[in-house]
Amino acid sequence: MTPSPPETPHAPGTRYRPDAAAPEPSPEDLLARAGGVLRPALGLYLDIHADPELSGQEARTADRFARGLASAGCEVVRGVGGHGVVGVLRNGGGPHVWLRAELDALPVRERTGLPYASTSEAMHACGHDLHLAAAVGATELLARLTDRWRGTLVVVGQPAEETLTGAEAMLRDGLYERFGRPGAVLAQHAAPLPSGTVAHAVGGVPAAAASAMLDVVLHGTGGHAAAPHLAVDPVVTAAAAVMRLQTVVARETAPQDQVSVTVGTLRAGTAANVIPDSAALGIGVRATDEASLDRALCAVHRVLAAESAASGALREPSVTVTSRSASLRCDPAVTYAVMRAHSGLLGAARVLPWPGSMAAEDFGLFGDAGASVHGLRGIPLCYWMLGVVDPGVWDRAATGDRGSLPAPNHSPHFAPHLGSALRPAVAALTAAALDRFAGPRVAEGRPGARADGGSGRTGPDDAS
Ligand SMILES: [Zn+2]
Ligand SMILES: [Zn+2]
C-alpha cells in the first residue's frame, strides 16, 4: 500500500485547522480510554519497528503480534496461510466484527535516524507496524469494555500484503471456514495526513487501485563489449522499453483515467566489458478500475514484445504476472456509519474524504473481490486512511517550508509521529468496531439515508 496525500482542504499547502464548530467527541471518550492501553501498544510498535521482516518471512513479527493478542485475552491461532495470525475474543452472542492489520515490511534501508530504527535491510516504511500496534491496542481496549458490546471480535495479522499475496493465502487456508463469516471487516492505513485525522473513500471512489505486478525477462544474446555487432544487447532493449512504457500512460490513456506504469527494478549485466544475455524488469501497473488495468497491461505486453523484436532478439520476452489485485471498494453504508463514529470520536472536521490513489491493497479479497477464493458474497469492508504526521510539522509544511514536507510511505525517511498518531489509531479502530457491534441503525450514515438501504445486506451476522 502506498497512499498519497489527498487534494482536500488538509492537503500540504493548506493549514490544518480543526473546525471549532465540529461536534464534541463522544462522552465515551475513547481517546482518553485509549491512553490506558498505549504502553503495551507502543512497546509492540518499537519491537516490531526495530526488527522488520519481509513479505512471507514474518515469523518473529507474527509471534509478537500473537502474544499481544493473547495477553489481551484472545484465543490465538498461528500459521494461517503462512505466518498469518488470528485472534478471537468472544463476548456472548452478537455480530462478528473483524479487524485486519499487516505483518510485513519492505526491502528499504531505513534512514530516519530514529533511536528505534531498523538496522537491517528491511524497514517498516508503510506503517504496518503502527497498524499492528493499533490492532492490539484496540483489542485490549475492547477487552476492557466488554460491558459495551456483545459478539465476537476476530483480529487478523495478515502476512505478505506488499506482495499482494497474503490475503489470498489466508483465505485459501480456510480463514472463513475456520473462524466464521465476518459481519464486517475493518482496516486502516497510515497516510500522509495530520495525526488525529482519518480519510474515507466515498462517492464511488475506490479506496485502493486495481494493480498487477510483472516480472519480465528481456532476452538478448551475450557477447564481448568490443563486438556488439555479434550480440543482441538486452540492456539497450531494456532502456528502450523503459522509455517507451512511459507512453502507455502519457499517450494511450485518456487524460480523465487514472493509470500508472512504473518500472521499479531494472537489472542486467555483471561487468562493464560483457554484454549480458538478459535484462530483468519489475513492473507495476495500476488503475482505478479493472478495464483500464487490462488495457494498460495489453499495452505493456505489446511494448515489451515490440522493443524485443526491434532489437533483433531471438526470443520473445518472458512475462510473469506475480500478483494481481482488484480495486478496493468499501461498503458505502458501513463507511458512512464508521465515518459518523469517527466524527463523534475526532470531530467532524477531522474526518476527511479520501480522493483515491494509485495505492494497491489485497484487503479487497476479504470481500466480494475474493468471492472466487472464499465463496462468500456481501461481506462489507470498511477501510480508511489514518493520519500519522505531527500536526505542527504539517502546519510548517503548509507555510511553504519544503524541508518540513513529511516523507511519504515507502520512503526510507518515513516515520509516523507516535506521540500524536498512536492514540487516535487505537481509538479510531475501537470506535469503528464498537459501531459495527452495535449493528446497522435506521438513518445512520449519510443524513437522510438508511444505513443498509433497506436490504439488510450490511448487517453483521447474528451468529453466536
Ligand atoms: Zn506499502
Ligand atoms: Zn501498506
pLDDT tens digits, one per residue of 239-275:
999 999 999 999 999 999 999 999 999 999 999 999 9
Q: How far apart are CA 446 and CA 376, in angstroms?
A: 27
Q: Which residues of 295-331 are buried (b: 16+ CB within 10 A; e: fewer)?
A: bbbebbeebbeebbeebebeeebebeeebbbbbbbbb
Q: How far apart are CA 104 and CA 29, in angstroms?
A: 32
C-alpha of residue 169 to centroid of ligand 1, in Å: 18
C-alpha of residue 425 to centroid of ligand 2, in Å: 15
Pairing of strands 198-200, 75-80: unpaired
Residue 123: per-residue pLDDT: 98
C-alpha of residue 200 to centroid of ligand 2, in Å: 16
Residue 50 CB partners (closer than 8 Å, separation 6+): 116, 117, 118, 119
Helix (H) or strand (E) holding 153: strand 151-158
Residue 2: per-residue pLDDT: 52
C-alpha of residue 385 to centroid of ligand 2, in Å: 11
Cβ(194)–Cβ(16) below 8 Å: yes
Helix (H) or strand (E) holding 259: strand 259-268
Mean pLDDT, all residues of the chain: 89
C-alpha of residue 19 to centroid of ligand 1, in Å: 31
Residue 410 CB partners (closer than 8 Å, separation 6+): 2, 106, 108, 125, 126
- pLDDT band for position 12 (cuts 50, 70, 90): very low
C-alpha of residue 162 to centroid of ligand 1, in Å: 6
C-alpha of residue 302 to centroid of ligand 2, in Å: 30
Residue 442: per-residue pLDDT: 43
Superfamily of domain 30-205+328-438: Zn peptidases (3.40.630.10)
pTM of the model as a whole? 0.83
Give the angle subtended at the CA of 303 by the CAs of 300 and 304, to the nearest 5°: 85
Helix (H) or strand (E) holding 75: strand 75-80
Residue type for position 291: A
* Portion of the chain with pLDDT greater than 70, in percent: 88
| Domain range summary for the chain, segments of one domain joined by + | 30-205+328-438, 210-325
C-alpha of residue 134 to centroid of ligand 1, in Å: 17
DSSP 266-309: EEE-S-TTEE-SEEEEEEEEEESSHHHHHHHHHHHHHHHHHHHH
Please tell me the chain's helix, strand, coil percentages from 3-state DSSP, rounded to the nearest 5.
35, 25, 40
Ligand nearest to the CA of 191: 2
Chain segment 21-46, per-residue pLDDT in tens: 444 445 458 999 999 999 999 999 99
Q: Is the pLDDT of residue 181 over 50?
A: yes
C-alpha of residue 11 to centroid of ligand 1, in Å: 20
| 210-325: CATH, from 3.40.50.10490, 3.30.70.360, 1.10.8.420, 1.10.10.10 | 3.30.70.360
Q: How far apart are CA 130 and CA 71, in angstroms?
A: 18
Residue type for position 22: A
Reading the block at residue 52, the C-alpha cell is 522488520
Cβ(37)–Cβ(141) below 8 Å: yes
C-alpha of residue 123 to centroid of ligand 2, in Å: 12
Residue type for position 99: L
* Listed residues: CB within 5 A of ion ligand 1: 1, 126
Mean pLDDT over 160-185 rounds to 97
